[in-house]
Amino acid sequence: MEKIKFLIALFILSSCSMSKELKNERQKWNFNHWENEYKDRAFCLCILKGYEDKKIEKIFLEKDRSFYNPLGIAIFDKSLKPIIDNEIKKIRQDSINSLNKYPEDLKGIYEKRQVLAHCLKFYTSKELDNLAKKEKENWNKIPNILDEIHKEIPTY
């Protein structure tokens, strides 16, 4: 009877554990560091979108591969898009609020957007830390990382 209980327990544990393939895939995609990669992606999106200028966005995408991240595009961007949209509103509002607050000779400097400063502040925020921790629950439910990437970035 003890052997049967042991075998049933062993079966339950083995059926609930992660498959070797998924474990290998997660290791390959650096799953243990996704919280940092998520925050990095948030920072990049904040910069890309913060200027609200397609020419600048195109240059960043062409010249710096930091801004192109298949994992980020496929998995992180879904939850980051509304957060980044909110950060862009804050950047825009800060710029609007600075209008006519500075002497005429300094307007050209102080009425510009503070994209990089804002995005750095956002990157180090508790809000982003908490969001990354919360998203980890969703990441643990992903059965196949590569399938998720191919949904957003198809290969032909």
Nearest to 29 by CA among 68, 67, 66, 70: 70
User: Closest by alpha carbon to 144, among 57, 18, 2?
Assistant: 18
pLDDT in tens, 74-88: 999 999 999 999 999
Looking at residue 95, its amino acid is S
**Local mean pLDDT, 10-residue blocks, the chain (156 residues):** 61 59 85 94 96 94 93 95 95 70 54 84 97 94 90 80
pTM for the whole thing?
Answer: 0.78
Confidence at residue 24, expressed as pLDDT on a 0 to 100 scale? 85
The helices-and-strands tally (H runs, E runs) of the chain is 10, 0
In the DSSP assignment, the letter for residue 18 is P
pLDDT the model gives residue 112:
60
Q: Each residue of 123-136: pLDDT tens digit?
A: 999 999 999 999 99
Report the 10 Å Cβ neighbour count for 46. Answer: 24
What pLDDT does residue 37 have?
Answer: 96
